[in-house]
Structure 1
Amino acid sequence: MAITAKDVEELHTYAEGVMGRADHHASAVKGIALAILGGIIWRGEPDSIRIRSFAGTPANMLWAKIGGNTYVFAFNHETEKIEIRDRTQTGAVLHSFDNSTPVADVESAFRAL
């Protein structure tokens, strides 16, 4: 079940969860997650952001429409990277990021979506 992120409070709760979980098992993406969240806020179409929930709380997967296309943002536990996938959680990986990714590359990836 997904919830729709219609306001800053919901995005804040999602960001808190992502950053808290990064402290425990995803430190390789903790910094870049902030840049990606900024890109989602910047380029995500209003009312298109959906956050996956698990046991009533936001999980590490988010959908957003950008330029009329749906993208999935998810943490890959095997590669320890945040991926942008085409349309679905099993869609083609279009971009992947970790803390070694320059922020300029994140901006460029979002601009191209």
Structure 2
Amino acid sequence: MFSGGRVLQIPRAKVEDAGRYTCVAVNEAGEDSLQYDVRVLLPPIIKGADVAVPAEVTVLVNKSVLMECSSSGSPAPRNSWQKDGQPLLEDEHRQLLSSGRILQ
């Protein structure tokens, strides 16, 4: 805390720092308070991105292939897929499963 308790600083916020913070001012004439609801956001992280993933997937014609992209963050990220840099839409040949986490 700084300035006689007037400023509360949380350096390098962590998820567990999220919550309701209340400043209470009290003197002989009474008291007043101010509340802050603090949310700590996490950037999207694709699980497994730090391990070797095959750069190429081979599938036999008329067979199925599954590609998984599991992510986390706060708020929860939405997954989407692209093919050759263009948004990939579902059709009879492509299905998005588990809210976009798996492409079949």
TM bin, normalised by shorter chain, reads under 0.3
State the TM-score, normalized to the length of structure 2: 0.23
Give the alignment's TM-score, normalised by structure 1: 0.22
